[in-house]
Amino acid sequence: MLAALDTPLADAPCDPLALPVEGWIYLGADQSNIVSVEALLNGVSIGSTTQLTVRADVNATHALPPTAATAFRFFGYADRAKFGGAGRFAVLVHLRDGGPPITLVEHSIHVIYQDHRQNPFGVLLTPELVALHNREHIYGSGPSLAVGSGEMLTLAQRYLGPPPVRVVDVGCGLGWYGTRLRAAGYDWHGAEMKPTDCAALAAAGLPHTQVDGSGLPFTDGAFDAALCIEVLEHIAEPRAFLAEIRRVAPGRLIVSVPNAELIAYLHNYLAVPWHMLEADHKNFFTRWSLGALLREFYPHVEVGFHTAHPLKTSEGTQAYYNLFAVARS
């Protein structure tokens, strides 16, 4: 067995409400026997993933097959963790054949004492509150962004899997992701409402369809996967919107939205995530509300974070601007 845990490291300070777990494992001929990777804190499960993805750096360094899927990445949530002391952290690899789980690592981590659920916005960190936070009265919206996120692009490629994959990018804007995904070999097609953005897509030679918001003009199962990057928060009827995406791309949906949990983290520091208050934001998501919504349409959903916020808590732990979700059949 070859394996490594990138985070959390031994004795590292960790926020149990949003604990990143990232690493890789390779079992050789038994790699397909891996069914899930699970994290435990003080013997309690805090999160898991059923998805392994390709990490080119790992495969190159260890002379593994280029397409070997070895990497795992997810975020744990330790609701009953003991704050203010050491916690025993472990990662288990569960096997499809029912054999005993493999312990990848077991070490101590420092669980920080601050419980952000206790501040006035702490309800955003409560898993039981999964209802959408709709806001009817909004003020204005800016233009589409000309530059996307390199981190989001990396995650999209990781969870789309190797090309060729037929991808519809719903609300693709100016096509920043499309240009790069097409260059990487993906069969990308944009869907966009704004006439000005569609004109820019045409000028760039990017394949696209102008949509009117009433539905997606594609046949059932026309795509292998869908992207929905910083769009769902703008949609007045998210369930009808997701039903259409599920119809045309039943296999997989990759989503990025602003992270409403950030409000709870930054409250004590008088910092405001202004983008979240942007004019056309109708829905506000935590890990749990986003996961609950997506599970109405795809049975397997995992939600984590991307794009670190420049401010950290007084304990030195990281907060994130965005939620990242993978939903699949």
- All residues at 6 or more sequence positions from 100 whose CB lies less than 8 Å from its CB, including other chains: none
3-class DSSP state of 297: coil
Convert the pLDDT of each residue in 29-39 to its tens digit: 999 999 999 99
pLDDT-wise least confident of 122-131, 167-176, 189-198:
122-131
pLDDT at 139: 41
Two structure tokens written together for 134: 């709709």
Residue 89 burial (C-beta neighbours within 10 Å; 0-12, 13-18, 19+): buried
4 by DSSP, 3-state: which?
strand
CA distance 152 to 320: 13
How confident is the model at residue 120, as a pLDDT?
67
Least confident of 25-39, 196-210, 258-272, 291-305: 258-272
Q: What is the mean pLDDT of residues 11-17?
A: 88
259 with 308: CB under 8 angstroms? no
**DSSP letter assigned to residue 90:** E
Nearest to 65 by CA among 110, 108, 31, 93: 31
Q: Which of 133-142, 182-191, 282-291 shows the highest mean pLDDT?
A: 182-191
Tokens of 171: 């609300």
Q: What structural domains does the chain harbor?
A: 2-113 (2.60.40.10), 122-328 (3.40.50.150)
**Predicted local distance difference test score (pLDDT) of residue 152:** 95
pLDDT tens-digit profile of 44-72? Answer: 999 999 999 999 999 999 999 999 999 99
Cβ 164 vs Cβ 185: under 8 Å: yes
Could you tell me if 19 and 48 are in contact, meaning their C-beta atoms sit under 8 angstroms apart?
no
Measuring CA to CA, which residue among 50, 46, 104 is closest to residue 76?
46
Interior angle at CA 72, CA 112 and CA 253, nearest 5:
105
CA atoms within 13 Å, Cβ hemisphere of 131: 4
Q: Where do runs of H (alpha helix) occur along the chain?
A: 56-61, 150-160, 176-183, 195-203, 238-248, 261-266, 287-294
The H-or-E segment that residue 226 falls in is strand 225-229
Q: Is the pLDDT of residue 234 over 90?
A: no
* Residue 252, phi then psi, degrees to nearest 5: -160, 140
- pLDDT for 34 equals 98
Residue type, position 299, single letter: P
CA dihedral 215, 180, 68, 75 (to 10 degrees): -70
pLDDT of residue 140: 43
Confidence band for 181, pLDDT divided at 50, 70 and 90: very high
Q: Taking residues 247-265, what's their average pLDDT?
A: 92
